[in-house]
Amino acid sequence: MRETNGTRDMTHRALSQVPSFWDMALFEAKATAFRLKRKTQETLSRKAVCRHGQGKALTSAPILARISSPLWHHLQGSQDRALTLGKIHNLRRAIRHLDGVEVPAGSLFSFWRQVGRTTRRRGFVEGRELREGCLIANVGGGLCQLSNALYEAALDAGLEIVERHAHSRVVPGSRASLGRDATVFWNYVDLRFRAARPFRIEATLRRDSLEIVLRGPGGLVTRKDGDLSVDEERLGANDCTSCGETECRRHDPERPFLPNDIGSTAWLVDACWPEFSILFSAIARTEDALLLPQRLRETPRYAWPRHVVAEESCATLVALRRALALRHAPRQGRALQDMLLRYDGALACHYAKKLSPVHEHLVISQNLLPHLWRLGELQGRSFDVLMIRHPMAELEAKLDAAKAVYPMSPTLGDFRAPQEIVVAERAALAAARTLYTPHSGIAAGDPARTQLIDWLKPAPRSRIARGGKSVLFPASALARKGAYALREAAQDLDLDIVVAGKAREGEGDFWGKVRTHQLDGAEWPEKIAAVILPALIEHEPRALLKALAHGLPVIATPECGLAGTAGVAEVPVCDPAGLRQQLLQVL
């Protein structure tokens, strides 16, 4: 029912008055009464509104509507940014309960039944909320952008609008001036719609926009006249940070940006490569946050630089459980890989709970990336990735190709991640801003977005002479390290292969007639003709960097990531003939 001119004038006069303490108390009392009334009605109703679950039946159904709305506007100051980040955080929380939801034919969709109450306990924070004509800071604020987009998508898809409430005033930049808005307020101001056919909701936060997609079978339903109404006489909303009503209890004036205020970054890291340590020290700011596994034991693998950022948070218990599990885990095999994936997920979950809405940009270790993506923590944020390996899909393709060459290998099938993890990593990498890596092979996968950083060679700690007939193989006798190619290349050559690792392919004597002996401890022989690693997969070639630091010749495949490095002779993977030729040259 539309308002009369007299009623509208009274409403406008009420909204133009500065709210007193008693006005606010009266509003809360009325809201409580309306909530109780709605709850009673829902309880007594024979057809209670249900909460719909996620499904996959309509993932390939035609798109009925697609709505995109920007997350950001021109920021006025630090409070404006904080409330906008709060809104994005609230949207991030809410769309977890909407994305992938499939509503059966004839069933009613209710915004509040689906999303639930927005409380701090459920992870919601302060954002802007339109109340009594004013934009105020309130927990759960900003969800009207989501209800607006859902309403507009439902209109475009021809769904039946069962309940919709327009905003009391026009929010600048919103759909209210077009009559395509739908305000919500727990629990009695709701958005509800349904359709004669099933439909699916897909909700996504891009870096700069909210996107709603509705899918369903068949064509569009013709919109009924009257579904869309425009109230051109609605006044603009006041903003409590800029309205100038200093006598109002809600008045909270805006604060200007501080110099060089470009937002906050959180570093979500795991193992500390020296190259990433240098990067962190170079670009992290005091205002940033570092989320790392632990500080109890300063091992080189987890020794992220101290005193770079003001805020640190450790996942000590997760790190200790992982360390204990690794002590009892097998040295190789799928069980080891599955265990590492589980602890990557546990570490990502811990970090997700520590993230703040003000962390609008993230720098993430790659092993945590797919888990954070599945948790929804990357939505509405920009992020960079510290690349420590090939993407899982590419890695598995390389292993499959190697398995075709060496079908006898029992280890090339060790690493196979669950498909949902592979898909999540692919999607997250596609959305990333910058990829950092020192590995030339990884960088070649996406050169446009990858920043190739320098490998760090270790300082020589002992004198190792070049010469003799001993060739160091700084790995275990495994197919992915190139053991099959090296065994074939070394047949009938007058050399000794010093094997550093203890694991091997299957049982028995892998090397056959090739002369080999196991490296005794961590110290290398005093005289080495060359260091050779014809690996099919090698993401962290520390042994090769050590060899280069000592002036030793290195024979490696492009998969070792040292392309263009002086002192490295490259041979293709699975090429015993080329490898043999290089061995003859260094001997």
Summarised one tens digit per residue, pLDDT across range 159-174 is 999 999 987 766 655 6
Number of alpha helices (DSSP H) and beta strands (DSSP E) in the chain:
15, 23
Whether 224 has a pLDDT exceeding 60, the answer reads: no
Q: How far apart are the first and last CA of the chain?
A: 93
Q: What is the pLDDT of residue 226?
A: 39
Residue with tokens 């060790």: 414
Instruction: Check if the beta carbon of residue 295 is closer than 8 Å to that of residue 314.
Output: yes
Residue with tokens 């993401």: 539
Confidence label for 422 from pLDDT (cuts 50, 70 and 90): very high
What is the side-by-side order of every strand in the sheet holding 264-268?
311-314, 289-292, 264-268, 359-365, 382-386, 435-437, 450-452
Which one, of 90, 86, 76, lies nearest residue 253 by Cα?
76
Q: Could you tell me which CATH class the domain 264-452 is placed in?
A: alpha beta
Residues of the chain with CATH 3.40.50.2000: 465-586
Q: What is the pLDDT of residue 240?
A: 53
Whether 234 has a pLDDT exceeding 70, the answer reads: no
Summarised one tens digit per residue, pLDDT across range 278-319 is 999 999 999 999 999 999 877 888 889 999 999 999 999 999
pTM of the model: 0.85
Q: What is the CATH number of domain 465-586?
A: 3.40.50.2000
- Could you tell me the two tokens for 452? 């190739």
Residue 518 forms beta bridges with which residues? 499
More confident residue, 232 or 205: 205
